Amino acid sequence: MKAICTETRPYLQGTRLTAWSLSEMGIDTTLITNNMAAYCMSKRMIQKVFAAADRIAMDGAVANKAGTMQLAICARHLGITSYILGYGGPDRCALRGHEIPIEERDPREVLEFQGTRITGDRVQAYYPAFDVTPPELITGIVTVSGVHKPSEIGSLQSH
Instruction: Going residue by residue through the chain, which has 159 residues, state the pLDDT in tens, using 9 for 90 and above.
Output: 899 999 988 888 889 999 999 999 999 999 999 999 999 999 999 999 999 999 999 999 999 999 999 999 999 999 999 999 998 779 999 999 999 999 999 999 999 998 999 999 999 999 999 999 999 999 999 998 899 999 999 988 654
Residue-wise pLDDT tens digits, 38-70: 999 999 999 999 999 999 999 999 999 999 999
DSSP run (H or E) holding 148: strand 146-148
Partners of 65 in beta bridges? 130
Report d(CA 92, CA 66) in Å as an integer: 22
10 Å Cβ neighbour count for 4? 19
d(CA 10, CA 113): 8
91 is catalytic: no
* Active-site pick, 54, 59, 106, 121: 54
CATH code of domain 48-155: 3.40.50.10470
